[in-house]
Structure 1
Amino acid sequence: MPPRTVLVLLFDGVQSLDVTGPVEVFAGAAPAAGSASGGYRVRTASLDGAPVRTSSGLILLPDHSLAEAAVPAPHTVLVPGGQGTRRPDPRLIDWLRVNAPGAQRIVSVCTGAILLAQAGLLDGRRATTHWAYCDRLARDHPAIDVDPDPIYVRDGNVATSAGVTAGIDLALALVEEDHGRDTALTIARHLVVFLRRPGNQAQFSAQLAAQTARREPLREVQQWITEHPDDDLCVESMAARARLSPRHFARAFRTETGLTPGRYVERVRVEHARRLLEDTTDGVEEVSRASGYGTPEAMRRAFLKNLGTPPAEYRRRFHAPSPS
């Protein structure tokens, strides 16, 4: 099989990691497969073929102008994000609108989704972007079903991903789909990253979703909750660990983290249970105990409330193959 052509769009203000992360993944496909063919032919292009300055100040030299790169149509068009997506050159949007539909696959990293949206390529589709821009994407483009939670989303031949490193996860998923798990695993090992975080994994962990408490006793309690989700995590127990009265603890915890103690514990336990369902073959009853739920039914109610799906169905969806 001849190499698939991946065309990466470059523009002033692009985020360098949005470019280099996926490019390193695609570039490693042929060596990982032990062949000089059958991988990817990665090409970069800017509007006029001129060098671009990334948001961090690096200069990138493209292979082509976009006009030169349009024929023949690439297999995959990859649109990175960055500060340059805030006020993009209208010619870039026009090029995407006219030429991207000719590709077999359209991919965005981070706020590259904003460029796809402006070109009308996400209308009627489910998509994501960096968490800080999901509200803007949904507000400015109501025809898009914006999902702020997952690290990447596949909808037909269009894939969108969250910020920066999520582009590596998505690229690994595409390599796995194109060339198999062994090739993707070899690349991941070389880059010292996970084989891939499946797309439905949340952008935020429970700890990142909440603020970190300023006071050390409260931070210690946050860490304890994370490391011991199956412990007694009632307010009285946590307050004693922080050496505060239950009332003072509850008030201070909410003030400094933005969440009530109960809500924080709930998020940690759901996240812990999700990871066990994703990474182990433990039964639902065993997972529920390890995650601090008294019964599988209690975990089921928590999953329905927070994820809209019961644990068994969550595991099934997680391990289901990605759509082509």
Structure 2
Amino acid sequence: MTGQEMAGAVDVLIIGAGPTGIRMARALDRAGIAKFRVLERDGALGRAPSRGTLPSRIHRGREVTACEFDEHTDRWRVTTAGGEVHHARVVIRAHDLGRDLIAGQRIAGREERTLHQRWSGGVEAFNAVAVHGFPNLFLMPAPVPDGGTLSRRRTGAVQARYILRCLELMRRHGASRIEVRAAVQREFNRWLRQERTGTAVRSDERAGGRLAGPAAGGAPGVFWVGSPRSYRRRLRRLNPAHFDCTTWHDREPEHAYHGPATLSAGERQLPVTVTLSGHVEPIDGKYHWYGRVHAQEEVAALQRANRSGVSLSLPGRQAVPGRLVERDPWGHVRVAGTGTPPYPVETLSEIEAEAAGAG
């Protein structure tokens, strides 16, 4: 399926089908979360399942090269080396021993900031599973050096239960996004930095009790400086106050219009959905309107064919000229124009008259 979008978005996408990834997949299956998929870059699987529907959800030979968060839809867009594109509400990156957590991957969160940039000063993830600025992304680092198979299995099981509680928190709030709060991440990072330089770090490292991951330049970093037992104890309970659960509509900036429209290019007329806004530019004194045409292949084809000159009309209103500017990573096409906008614009006098009438 090179170069194709994988059919159907999923609720959860697990990257990595080693022991940790399979453990997470089994936990999702037991919790009744049916819409999930597992991507594995190699052919070998950790304790590969052979019964039920789980084997059909594991896709081998899929090396993930990029994960990009769409702030408009609160979904991740995951691309593989073979050109496949997967869409998921939540991404879980399972990390097994000897495998870099984010090697060869571009993981871009809010405002397109990458995880490598976020970790330029060292690895810092709240409770080793969540990073502020990267909503709906969970990490599952394994203990290193070898603290024993039983220790790794217990740690993975606790991480899986903690992530399931986060997903349940999203469901209860009817949220499309979950993100660790900035203040919570900041305080955790401060504690982690203090512990890294203290005697606890040196004693725990000798005991093989840390959780490690890649820092800047691929150097090892530390997610947790206590023993695996202390880490598992911390993850036994989820504090809802540590996370923000929101929906796309909660964060959508104010816009002048959102809804159906007709995009015309020559004799072609396409029904589309648009989100538009605008303002008067003081420099030229003209009204500049802009926004996006929501993902639609026919519109993207027009943009690729350099058919930038179009007209846009809203229900019950005349068409106005505009132009297709560019396509964003998630398939939406930006549209803009100068002069009378497609939507009605109230004047200050009209707004004040309406307010006076209501009073």
Q: Greater strand share, 1 or 2?
A: 2
Flag the structure with larger Rg.
2
User: Which TM-score band applies after superposition, normalised by the shorter structure?
Assistant: 0.3 to 0.5
The structure richer in helix per residue is 1
**TM-score of the pair, normalised by structure 2:** 0.31
